[in-house]
Amino acid sequence: LVWLLVLSLAWLGPALGGEDKDEEVTEEEEKEKKEDEVLSDEIKEEDNVLVLHEHNFARALREYQLLLVEFYAPWCGHCQQLAPAFAQAATELRNESSPARLGKVDATVQTALATEFGITSYPTLKLFRDGNRTHPLAYTGRMDSRGIVRWVQRRAGPSATLLQDTDTISAFINSQDLVVIGFFKDLRAEAAQAFFEVAAEMVDMTFGVAEAAELFQVYGLSADTVCLFRKFDERQTNFPVDPERGLDTAELTRLLRVHSLQLVMEFTNETSNQIFSAKIPHHMLLFLNKSSPEQLSLRDGFRAAAGGFRGEVRWPHGRDMEGGFGTPQPQCPLFPAQVLFVVVDVTGHGADVLPFFGMTAADAPTLRLVKMENNRKYQMEQDNFSDSAIRTFIQAVLDGKVKPHLLSAEPPEDWDTRPVKVLVGKTFEQVAFDETKNVFVKFYVPWCPHCQAMAAAWEELAERYKDREDIVIAEMDCTANELENITIQGYPTLHYFPAGPGRKVGVGTCGVTSTWRMVAPSAPSAPMVQMVEYKSTRDVETFSKFLENGGTLPEEPP
């Protein structure tokens, strides 16, 4: 507002100073000029991005075959972060004479457009094809210039290249480290159309399609099949289409993600997104120091163990499918048992994840298995790096025969003399489950800004109740401590454990949000009782009302 005021004064300065009357521009004239600009259907550009509003939107749809529109808010930090990448993508597409263009709409001003297209968050990107205003396609790609360009290009042309002869298909397979080819006897059939849908979404892979009978024969196929060709590990992996159930796009996508990974991945900045986006339920990790030849040699046994846990799909009635992807019948659900094997260099990119495991570089070499649905970590009683020992350990974890390894810091010497009692994994139950105390616990992580913001209020609350024998104010750092029987999924989380007998809670985890995690609640094996989550205002007075009222907030008078 200050800058607007300064600029307004600068514009009006000549008029106020008595300049020639013909050169005066009054506020009213300026307003009329702006209104005329808005009412016009002229399409202006900023950094090759079309500036759209309700009066030129229809014209843009008529003029451009493909139009990717960003609905944004000027104050939105994510929109501001996206802006340079969006402009770069717009420039690249224009330079290559693509039929696609990028546009933007200020949804805070163009409210009619925002309402029409159901914009409720920023930024929202939608693709309009062939002037169709009623059924835009939601953007599903990455929010960077390369991701935007690839996503749009995949929709600007055929999502898969038609391969018609042996020379063409051979050159196509050898052109990339990894390609996907769908062999279909009828490219108009439903299964082939589903394949094209997958190809349109998976823009980080290269897709081809073939229907010539001779090509089926060359690659040893007799029925519709999706084939993954790699220059590493197995050369060709086949995913036959079930003739009765057809092709399930979600399952094909999952299988391609899983099998596009190397049998043993190395955790780097470039591979981390692949590792976590594949959504493989278990990760087996070998931590080593790559500068040590002796430790590097441990990769051989690790790799030998990996093959038995890749791509396995179990059927409950004894029917196993190696990579098949028909849509499962209700009585035959899929039971994926994949384990992704990952080598982590403790002196490289892997150094950043060591705190999550309570480790230092000196602990290498060592093995850990992570169950991704709940962040539970499993450790051998004594590391054994032979392939048979690794396979036996993994199978024991999958069969539920190994207990998770839980982190716990050592309690500070003065942990119970401070107003805020400092809990660690090994002391949590003795304090929180004390039947003579009402215990109010803050679960936090040190780097969380919300945790930092409420720290002073928590200290003040503890000071207020430090002389109360029946109330304990406590906290636990979830970067250094884990619990088997409490699930924490956001920070800070506040739980109240009331005094009284029978304190039992369901199975869960308390773990820090980190690189090696996927947030998902674990199903409790018993109903959670005698524990109340506090979800109201985080200030001392409201905390006090909650405590004085026995773990609930009193109803406010109308």
Quote the tokens at residue 550. Answer: 């026995």
| b/e per residue 417-455 (b: at least 16 CB within 10 A) | eeebbbbbbebbeebbbeeebbbbbbbbbeebeebeebb
Catalytic positions are 76, 79, 448, 451
Angle between helices 190-201 and 249-260 (to 10 degrees): 50
Structure tokens at 346: 């403790």
Using CB atoms within 10 A of its CB, is residue 277 exposed (0-12), middle (13-18) or buried (19+)?
A: exposed
Alpha-carbon gap, residue 340 to 267, rounded angstroms: 11
Q: What is the CATH number of the domain that holds 195?
A: 3.40.30.10
Instruction: From 198, 343, 210, 321, select the one nearest 268 (Cα to Cα).
Output: 343
Whole-angstrom Cα distance, residue 308 to residue 439?
A: 48
> pLDDT at position 254, please?
87
Give the strands of the sheet with 438-444, arranged side by side.
421-423, 471-477, 438-444, 493-497, 532-534
Of the candidates 129, 154, 179, which is a domain's last residue? 154
Q: What is the pLDDT along the chain (558 residues), one digit of tens a residue?
A: 323 222 232 222 333 333 343 444 455 555 555 545 556 889 999 999 999 999 999 999 999 999 999 999 999 999 999 999 999 999 999 998 889 999 999 999 999 999 999 999 999 999 998 999 999 999 988 899 988 998 998 888 788 999 999 999 999 999 999 999 999 999 999 999 999 999 988 888 899 999 999 999 999 999 999 999 999 888 999 999 998 899 999 999 988 988 888 889 999 988 888 888 888 889 999 999 999 999 999 999 999 999 878 654 333 333 344 444 443 333 333 334 589 999 999 999 899 888 888 889 999 999 999 998 888 899 998 889 999 999 999 999 999 899 888 888 899 988 988 999 999 999 998 899 888 999 999 999 898 889 999 999 999 999 999 999 999 999 999 888 888 778 787 899 999 999 987 654 443 334 433 334 323 333 333 334 478 999 999 999 999 999 999 888 888 766
What pLDDT is attached to residue 17? 37
> What is the pLDDT, as a whole number, of residue 28?
56
Q: Which of 154, 179, 205 is the last residue of a domain?
A: 154
Backbone φ and ψ for 541, nearest 5 degrees, come out as -65, -40
The pLDDT of residue 27: 54
Q: Amino acid letter at 199?
A: A
- Taking the C-alpha atoms of residue 99 and residue 102, their distance in angstroms, rounded to an integer, is 10
C-alpha span between 93 and 553 (Å, rounded): 57
Instruction: Mark whether 467 and 534 lie in a shared domain.
Output: yes
Would you give the DSSP letter of residue 510? B
Domain end call among 100, 122, 154: 154
Task: Give the per-residue pLDDT at 32.
Answer: 52
Domain assignment present for 24: no
Distance, CA of 293 to chain centre: 35
Residues 6+ apart with CB under 8 A from 459: 419, 420
Q: Are residues 233 and 270 in the same domain?
A: no
Q: How many CA atoms lie within 13 A of 407 on its CB side?
A: 22
Q: Are 311 and 322 in contact (CB under 8 A)?
A: yes
Report how far apart, in Å, the C-alpha atoms of 243 and of each of 145, 191, 250, 464 are: 40, 9, 17, 70
The pair phi, psi for residue 264, each rounded to 5°, is -125, 120
In a domain, 284, yes or no: yes
What is the C-alpha to C-alpha distance for residues 409 and 454, in angstroms, rounded to an integer?
23
SS (H, E, C) 467-509: CCCCEEEEEEECCCCCCCCCCECCCCEEEEECCCCCCCCCCCC
Q: Tell me, yes or no, whether 148 and 51 share the same domain.
A: yes
Judgement on whether residues 305 and 387 belong to the same structural domain of the protein: yes
pLDDT at 307: 80
Q: Note whether residue 298 is domain-resident.
A: yes
In a domain, 367, yes or no: yes
Regarding whether 361 and 299 lie in a shared domain, the answer is: yes
Shared domain for 366 and 451, answered yes or no, is: no
Residue 238 domain-assigned (yes or no): yes
In a domain, 137, yes or no: yes
For residues 382 and 482, state if they share a domain. Answer: no
Within-domain flag for 271: yes
pLDDT given at position 448: 86
Residues 220 and 289 in one domain: no
Looking at the structure of the chain, the number of domains it has is 4
Full residue range of the structural domain in which residue 354 is found: 265-313+337-399
pLDDT at residue 55, as a whole number: 95
- The DSSP-derived string for 236-278 is EEEEEPBTTTB--HHHHHHHHHHHHS-SEEE--TTTHHHHHHT
What pLDDT was estimated at residue 318? 34
β-bridge mates for residue 364, sequence order:
none
Q: How many residues are listed for the chain in this entry?
A: 558
Q: What pLDDT is recorded for position 188?
A: 94
Q: What is the CA radius of gyration of the chain?
A: 30
Domain co-membership, 113 together with 233 = no
- pLDDT value at residue 503: 56
Distance from C-alpha of 11 to C-alpha of 486, rounded to nearest angstrom: 63
Place of tokens 């309570």: 358
Q: Are residues 500 and 541 in the same domain?
A: yes
Cα separation, 375 vs 127, in Å, equals: 37
DSSP 23: G
**φ, ψ dihedrals at 455, nearest 5°:** -60, -45
Task: Give CA angle at 446 (445, 447), nearest 5°.
Answer: 95
Is 328 a domain residue? no
Q: Flag whether the pTM goes above 0.75.
A: no
